[in-house]
Amino acid sequence: MGAAVPVDMCWFDKTGVVTEQSWEQVRDGSISTEGWVEATANGWGALVCWVAGPANTCRRPAAVRDRHTEVLVMTNGATVRQPSVLSDADLASIDENIDTYLAAAGVPPVPRGYAWFVRRPGACTSDQSFWAAINRGMAEAGLEALEPLHHRLALNSVLQDLYRS
């Protein structure tokens, strides 16, 4: 018999059997992205993928990360947008922040080098309606705290409802 696995590292497969979960169970996406929503490239997007589970998540090798961004500079009360380029240190810091958020939610670090996709539930007819349904469900959960673990637990309920409908 295998070692005990923490509940937050498990998921229920389609037959209701509890299975240990890992990022490596997510299929590599040689699939069409039709019916799939690209997850945001941040801790929240990674958490949505984790909670959706391997059956509802796929990944593809990511394109080279775009280093171009805009920064807002405030001078004498005026806000000006200025182009900026992210350094290797900036990108590493972003990755560290994602891992920190996931760790606080009880989730292992997301593997690098992939774009992540979540299967859109049937009730969601567009990417926008998918994210709106999640946001609505999270708002209805009435979370007072901003703790990632509470986000994960509430998100689990929200996504279970979405995939059941």
In a domain, 48, yes or no: yes
Q: pTM of whole model > 0.85?
A: no
In a domain, 92, yes or no: yes
In a domain, 1, yes or no: no
110 pLDDT exceeds 90?
Answer: yes
144 pLDDT exceeds 80?
Answer: no
Residue 130, pLDDT score: 95
Question: By residue range, what is the domain housing residue 45?
Answer: 7-164
63 pLDDT exceeds 60?
Answer: yes
Residue with tokens 């279970």: 160
Name the residue type at position 74. M
The Cα 150–Cα 164 span in angstroms is 22
In a domain, 2, yes or no: no
In a domain, 77, yes or no: yes
Q: What percent of the chain has pLDDT over 90?
A: 40
In a domain, 117, yes or no: yes
Residue 64, pLDDT score: 79
Residue-wise burial string across 126-142, b where 16 or more C-beta atoms lie within 10 A, e elsewhere? eeeebbebbeebeeeee
Residue 145: pLDDT band with limits 50, 70, 90: low
| Element spanning 136, H or E | helix 127-140
The total number of structural domains in the chain stands at 1
